[in-house]
A and B are shown apart, each in its own frame.
Chain A
Amino acid sequence: MADLSINLAGIRSPNPFWVASAPPANTAYQAHRAFEAGWGGVVWKTIGDPILNVSSRYSSMNYGGHRMVGFNNIELISDRAPETNFREIKEVKERWPNHAVIASLMTDTRENWHDYMKRSRDCGADGVELNFGCPHGMCERGMGSAVGQNPDVIETIVSWVMEAAEIPVIVKLTPNITSITHAARAAKRAGADAISMINTINSITQVDLDRMCPEPYVAGKSTHGGYCGPAVKPIALNMVQECAADPDVAIPISGIGGISTWKDAAEFIALGSTSVQVCTAIMHYGFRIVEDMIDGLNDYLDRAGMKSVNELIGKAVHTVNRWETLDLNYKRIARIDYDKCIGCNLCFIACEDGAHQAIALVAPEEKKVGLGPGRLPGKAIPSIKEDECVGCNLCALVCPVDQCITMVDVETGRDPMSWRDYQERMANGQMQPIPPHP
């Protein structure tokens, strides 16, 4: 059993799995249930001046029969009074002293930030998270993503907060920005202890074509909502890695965005997260999902020979590099295992219409392949044109059978050469330009 406990900028929790600041983290009741289920931390739903919500608040993107592949919301921060929230945090901390409870905060003036910092410390919170990411409603009032989209404003407000900070401060960043590293650097310059990302992405999930109005529908209107769920994971991973690799950021990261399983979590950790935060998967299935996350991560760490989850943090960060450093002479091609092929020929049409016309349909006899239920007499089977195959992976991606199409490395006999090397060699007169593809 590996050690799953973490310490993110001084915030300790028995495992890296935190409930994100969102509807599942709205009350003490929910926090108790989360900790009973096994979660390591709870980032409280953002505390601020109580707001009013509309009734219809969530919408989703379903795909291929799967519900909530993407999810969006137009709900605002906590609609409960700050004193209620701080009182409940105190209760929760008393019952769960070894678990992390983080107060998410959103307010406006320097005085108000100082007041909230003091009350967070007084209630026993392990740290605070500044919500600079909410992309709907609050940003119209100069808060949330309105702050996170302007590095100067981030720096100013974080510096106010740090004046009163006696517990660790995490700055939660918005992805609705050209480069998130600029926002992260601003937080770091102002003295933040850690950053968390990503908050939700501006979105419209779907338009009801009968009412000619997007969802969520609110009395004939809708608004831009914050997008999250499994569909946003690649975007979040990208931003986490960018910040983790940036020497001007260099503070711990709490990763957020589409995490549903231990594997998602492990990927965020490998790209530089210390803790991970989960919301949509809980909203879909409840707190119980953490059992598999703990179990699966533990098992993975054991298999990988890591004694602590801390060994995993950032392990893959440095394999992500600028494109110009990639080896142009590395080559792979597709290979089809005809014993597994079921004859759908999706690889053929994907390559033919969508990629490089490197798969032919040939008679089974030509490949010395027998018939199968998917291989009718007279029906062609796919064959890789190895000279044409650029190794793009598309066929392997569309193939519905595991391990039927695999990408195999091919020895080119050429030494590694990146685009940067290529430019240098041409500049030095060491090589001639490579002719373009016909």
Chain B
Amino acid sequence: MPVQPILSADHAARNMAELEPKYSPQEAVTEANRCLFCFDAPCIMACPTGIDIPAFIKKITSGNVTGSARTILESNVLGASCARVCPTEVLCEGACVMLDRDEQPIKIGRLQRYATDHVFENNIRVLHAPEKKSGKRVALIGGGPASLACAAELAQLGHQSVIFEKKPLAGGLNTYGIAYYKLTPEVSLKEVELVRELGVDMRTGVEIGRDMSGEDLLREYDAVFIGVGLGHTYRLDIPGEDLPEVVEALTFIEELHTKPLHDVAVGKRVAVIGCGNTAIDAVTQAKRLGADEAVIVYRRGEQDMPAYPYEYELAKNDGAEFLFHTLPVEVVSENGHVTGLKLVRTAMGDDGKMTTVPGSEYVRPFDMVIKALGQEKMATMLHQIFPELTLNRNGTIQRDKQTGATSIPHVYAGGDAANGGAEVVNAVGEGKKAARGMHALLTGQTVDGPVQWTRVGVQGRPVGSGLDHPVRVPELEAAYAAGGQ
């Protein structure tokens, strides 16, 4: 049977409400007052966009919420969405010194949301581009987080830019592809508007490679930024994959962003193949849309899953089921519709190779299968636009990590297309760095690394911030294990 929407409008809206309610002013000030206002704070170094976190928190305590949002958005124009979707536990909050005092880290993400919501809800404009323009023009391919951050930074440096986005709306995965209860498209679109207000020209519905060529761009613009993200989900390559109830996770999530919540169809018994963070979004969303069963099917074990531990907890709390060491070998159907999955158990050999357990096949009934195996690289499309562009062996764009410069002069890159798929905040950091790289190319002037000039490091050398030297908690822990006494 084709799958149908299950819940009423009210019920769906309730289930999809934001995970954590917004702070009241008193809650925000109480939480902000816990912050020690560290000098050269570790949280700043753990933020890939280098937001001056203690400064924005201090401003919340004084009631200067607009200034707080300005501090955030000047460093990270997508600060409102990052406040919601950042894995703060392994970034800023994971580096918080409070952890060393055996206390809860400061709730940096929620405070950031409080400050940025304040300016968006009250239509307060905090960012301004300089009046004097450089006369340089940059084209950005793709309208996702990397391009938005790059364009915002370029605008603040006095350059004009144009974003070409093939979809009807800009924002990329922030608009179309993140679990609804984490980030609604409205927030993403407000950020797009913020970038537009800086003077960035948004041309949506334009596909580079079809409507314009890479050559056209290089001729008409002083530099080009590639922020195209990634492509379709990898194929399962098993029989039955093309049945109508076998969908890509991002397509499933996108439906929630483009249709009324109660019009999104979902199976009663849903299998999600894969166990990354997108798989978690999909399985949780299926459950919240009313599926009786929503099951993650993952060929490896619990300890191997790429999803963050708190995402795993979230899905379990929502009632998702996890089948580890299980591999789908066939999508079973009747009359052209999915009726189940043929599964087989896997085992890890002594040589570290995964094998299937002979005779362990069984069929479990499902009426919907969601594929969440990670996204393909855009190699074909990239070479269609820039035939000369050098790609890495894994299909990502080869570029200088500090400046974003690619193998082609005047062409820069950042975001998922360059890093292979990371967080929104990484895309923002890379977009920002590429903007500074282009600024150096176009004007011969560099933008100095450390955002906080008062912060000095060992022997007076600047420490910089997470923009230049991002530190994540796993790296921190590794360094601690290696160098700690």
Contacts and interface: CB of A to CB of B under 8 A. Distances in A.
Contact of A380 (B61, B463, B483): B463
A374 B36 contact: no
Interface in A148-164: none
Interface in A364-383: 364, 368-374, 376-380
Given A371-B479, A379-B45, A361 B97 contact: no
Nearest to B105: A373
15 contacts: A64-B61, A345-B40, A361-B458, A362-B458, A371-B480, A373-B94, A376-B42, A377-B475, A377-B476, A378-B469, A379-B42, A379-B457, A380-B463, A400-B101, A401-B101
Which one of B37, B94, B483 has the greatest number of beta carbons of chain A within 10 Å?
B483
Nearest to B485: A370
Interface in B466-485: 469, 471, 475-476, 479-480, 483-485
A216 B464 CA distance: 47
B459 interface: yes
A182 B418 CA distance: 79
B33 A343 contact: no
A64 B33 contact: yes
Interface in B400-414: none
Contact of B458 (A346, A363, A371, A400): A363
Interface of A: 64-65, 342-346, 348-349, 361-364, 368-374, 376-380, 400-401
B310 interface: no
A433 B338 CA distance: 98
A362 B480 CA distance: 18
B368 to A, nearest CB: 43
A171 B169 CA distance: 78
B1 interface: no
A343 B38 contact: yes
B42 A343 contact: yes
Contacts of B98: 342
A379 B484 contact: no
Q: Which 9 A-B pairs have the closest CB atoms?
A: A370-B484, A370-B485, A65-B33, A342-B100, A344-B38, A374-B97, A345-B39, A349-B39, A342-B97
Contact of B97 (A65, A370, A371, A373): A373
A353 to B, nearest CB: 9
A371 B481 CA distance: 8
B41 interface: yes
Contacts of B65: none
B456 interface: yes
A378 to B, nearest CB: 6
B478 to A, nearest CB: 9
A373 B95 contact: yes
Contact of A400 (B36, B42, B456): B36
B3 interface: no
A376 B95 contact: yes
Contact of A346 (B36, B100, B480): B36
B463 A373 contact: no
A66 to B, nearest CB: 9
Main secondary structure of the interface of A (DSSP, over half): loop
User: By DSSP majority rule, is chain B's interface helix, strand, loop, or mixed?
Assistant: helix
B473 to A, nearest CB: 8
A349 B101 CA distance: 20
B187 to A, nearest CB: 28
A401 B38 CA distance: 13
B interface, how many residues as a size bin?
35 or more
Given A342-B100, A373-B480, A378 B463 contact: yes
A372 B485 CA distance: 10
Contacts of A362: 458-459
A374 to B, nearest CB: 4
A364 B33 CA distance: 29
Contacts of A344: 36, 38-39, 41, 97
Given A373-B100, A378-B458, A401-B101, A345 B485 contact: no
A346 B39 contact: yes
Contacts of A374: 42, 95, 97, 99-100
A369 B40 contact: no
Given A361-B40, A373-B95, A379-B457, 15 more contacts: A342-B97, A342-B100, A343-B42, A343-B100, A344-B38, A364-B483, A369-B485, A371-B480, A373-B99, A377-B471, A377-B475, A378-B457, A379-B463, A380-B463, A400-B101
B8 interface: no
Interface of B: 29-30, 33, 36-42, 45-46, 61, 94-101, 456-459, 463, 469, 471, 475-476, 479-480, 483-485
Q: Which of B33, B61, B97 has the most CB of A within 10 A?
A: B97
Contacts of B479: 371, 376-377
Given A374-B42, A376-B476, A342 B101 contact: yes
Contacts of B484: 370-372
Nearest to B99: A373
Contacts of B33: 64-65
Contacts of B37: 346
A361 B457 contact: yes
A374 B480 CA distance: 10
Given A346-B38, A361-B458, A376 B45 contact: yes
A363 B476 contact: no
Nearest to B469: A378
Contacts of A348: 39
Contact of A65 (B29, B38, B40, B94): B29
A331 to B, nearest CB: 27
A380 to B, nearest CB: 4
A372 B100 contact: yes
A366 to B, nearest CB: 8
Contacts of B42: 343, 373-374, 376, 379
B265 to A, nearest CB: 45
Nearest to B477: A373
Contacts of B97: 342-344, 373-374
B40 A373 contact: no
Nearest to B42: A376
A346 B100 CA distance: 15
Contacts of A378: 457-458, 463, 469
A348 B475 CA distance: 26
A369 B39 CA distance: 19
A86 B484 CA distance: 72
A11 to B, nearest CB: 43
Contacts of A64: 33, 61
Most buried by B among A362, A370, A373: A373
Contacts of B456: 361, 380
A373 B181 CA distance: 31
A344 B95 CA distance: 11
A372 B484 CA distance: 7
